[in-house]
Amino acid sequence: MLFDTVTSTFEKEEKQNSSSFLKEFLIIFALLIFSHLLTGNMAENEVGKLMLAKQFMFPDWLPNDWYLSQPQKYQALFQLVFGHSIAYLGFLATSILGRIIYYSLISFGLVLIARQIKLHLLSLFTAITLFLYSHQGMAIAGEWMVGSLETKGFAYGIVLIAIWLAMKQRYIWMIASLGIATSLHILVGGYATLTFLPWLAWSAYKKGLFRQEFIKKYLSTICLGTFIYLLTSIFATVTLFHSLSKTVTAPESMLQATYIYTFLRNSHHLAPFTWQKIRFLIIIIYLGIFGWCWHKTKEEFVFSVQKYPNNGTGIKSRLLLLELTVFSLIPLFGGFVAVFFDSEGALLQYYPFRFGSLMLALNSLLIAVYLIQKYIKTSRYIQGFKKYGFSLCLVTLALVHSLTLTSFTKQAINLLDFPIGIEQNNLESQDVFTWIKNNTAKEAIIISSPSHYIGFNWLTNRATIAKFKLVPPTEIQIFEWYERLNDLSGYPKDYVWQKTGFEMEEELHQDYQKLTTVQVKNLMEKYQAQYFFDYRKHNLDLPIAYENNGYRLYQSN
């Protein structure tokens, strides 16, 4: 009888916990959905990744497009899955479905971590709202976790689960998760691994394991962990090994490929000297918040150890989260040091600022909100304001997310006209794209702006020359990419850009619109292109294949 009662009680508690977890998951999941699901579908980086995925699975789609024909095998796992999805569902449905999948993964990881650090649902909701609406920690190095359909979103979701597994001391599963994250995105998974490894060593040191016969006692575990990591990260490690073992001869150039990639193309990610001053202020603010969180958490930990030596899962998990954040910042500060001597971008090209800056923002917010939650719960000074404070918090969140729902509704309605509204695409440009699909040869190559219409390939189902946004993966290809962009803007082959990043992207477009008839004819001859696409106001002495009130498509003589 007693056994039946105890069993019934445990089953009831387990059911309640499962129900509570599902509720928390769905609320956080809904937050991500309504704030980001329909934002920028098939634009920016996403369109490049999905076009590559389709080309990877169906090489006969646009075999004569230069960029899409460059193999990017480090994303093979992503391309295998979503290349097939595009074939069956189309680009837009794949974009939405893929986002839903990885948003659910991130929501799952966030709720697991929140439960482990004893963060209540309202507090978690508040922290993630702050994170999302501050552009994910103000995007210190342009990094994000929730956004378009890319491999990094899945990788971050797996990293969050790895953090939870570390809190649960399930280290083998943690290592497997890190390997999977690395297979999905070599930089996110790689930097996460570089964060966890010193943390594991630090944890072992704190427990005094190094004073014991460490190697002898834990050799089998270390070997097993290494094997599991190499196995689960195989999609990345094989590609990396192949790249490192391959010898290539780069063409002679005034510029290094790493310099072009780091300082001319990706300065907003990789070159702190070009950043706005507000970014450094944001870093200082977050470091201040983090320092406060560290101080208060250490105080709480000391108190917990003294008063509750056998109980303190929450405080240990919070301290672990802060320790991981510290180790994630090592590459970030290493990058700031490298800035002073890495003039060619040999080190900076590996994005040392992004993972640490995002972990700093997210984890600082989670712990800071927990500390506020604890203060509200325990402080005798604000007992009378608890009810009103809770109501005020709910009203504020409701107001913020009512705006989110309004925006989401507008985005959903706008998708009825898809792909109108994507990038600069309007009725007139779409009219030309439809004409191109229906009236040009499948193997036709069309010259288009180096900066506008990143998704020109899928909008027209035709090859083009190059896009500023779409950078190939290897050194030799980066040189050719740079030359192609210079050609498209009327610059000499080795012209050194006077601007960087987005400013240069717009200048390339402006100079593309100034190309002369002779320059366009030379481009057509060099790249075996049959058509030239631009705004109607760009007058050339070439036959007009098609035009409307906004755009004109020229053809070769």
Torsion angle, alpha carbons of 389, 390, 396, 399, to 10: -140
Residues 374 and 392 in one domain: no
The answer as to whether 263 is a domain residue is yes
Q: How confident is the model at residue 239 (pLDDT cuts 50, 70, 90)?
A: confident
Q: Is 132 within a domain?
A: yes
pLDDT at 322: 97
Q: Residue 372: name the closest of 264, 465, 292 by CA.
A: 292
Tokens 């020109």 found at: 456
> Does the pLDDT at position 254 exceed 80?
no
| pLDDT, average across residues 478-500 | 93
Asked whether residue 277 falls in the same domain as residue 346, the answer is: yes
Q: Say if residues 158 and 180 touch (Cβ distance below 8 Å).
A: yes
The answer, yes or no, to whether residue 6 has pLDDT greater than 50, is: no
Are 238 and 278 within one domain?
Answer: yes
Give, for 545, the enclosing helix (H) or strand (E): strand 544-547
Residue 7 within any structural domain of the chain: no
Residue tagged 């070599």 (tokens): 186
Residue 13 located in a structural domain: no
Last residue of a domain, one of 359, 393, 418: 418
In the three-class reduction of DSSP (H, G, I as helix; E, B as strand; rest coil), residue 199 is classed as helix
Residue 296 clears pLDDT 90, i.e. is over it: yes
My answer on whether 477 and 333 are in the same domain is no
540 in any annotated domain = yes
Looking at the domain assignment, is residue 3 inside a domain?
Answer: no
Answer yes or no: do 106 and 174 share one domain.
Answer: yes
Which of 353, 378, 403 corresponds to the end of one domain?
A: 378
Q: Between 280 and 106, where is the model more confident?
A: 106
Does residue 490 come out as left (phi exceeding 0), alpha (psi in the -120 to 50 range) or beta? left
43 within domain boundaries = yes
Residue-level pLDDT at 9: 45
Query: Distance between CA atoms of 184 and 76, rounded to whole angstroms?
Result: 8
Section 515-535 average pLDDT: 97
pLDDT band at residue 228 under the 50/70/90 scheme: very high
Cα–Cα distance, 128 to 133 (Å, whole number): 8
Per-residue model confidence (pLDDT) at position 305: 72
Tell me: do 550 and 472 sit in the same domain. Answer: yes
Q: What is the pLDDT of residues 162-217, one digit of tens each?
A: 999 999 999 999 999 999 999 999 999 999 999 999 999 998 888 777 766 666 67
- Cα–Cα distances (Å) from 42 to 45, 86, 311, 502, in that order, read 8, 12, 49, 19
Taking 90 as the threshold, does the pLDDT of residue 308 lie above it?
Answer: no
Instruction: State whether 170 and 208 are in the same domain.
Output: yes
Render pLDDT for 121-150 as a digit per residue (tens, 0 to 9): 999 999 999 999 887 656 678 889 999 999
Please indicate, yes or no, whether residues 349 and 402 belong to a single structural domain of this protein: no
One domain, residues 228 and 361: yes
* Number of domains observed in the structure of the chain: 3
Of 358, 391, 418, which closes a domain?
418
For residue 14, the model assigns a pLDDT of: 55
Where in the sequence is the domain holding 323, given as residue range(s)? 23-378
Query: What is the model's pLDDT at position 5?
Result: 47
On the question of pLDDT at 389 being above 80, the answer is no
pTM of the model: 0.92
Are 266 and 136 in a shared domain?
yes
Task: Tell me, yes or no, whether 8 lies in a domain.
Answer: no
* Percent of the chain residues past pLDDT 90, beyond the cut: 70
439 and 322 in a common domain: no
Same structural domain for residues 374 and 499? Answer: no
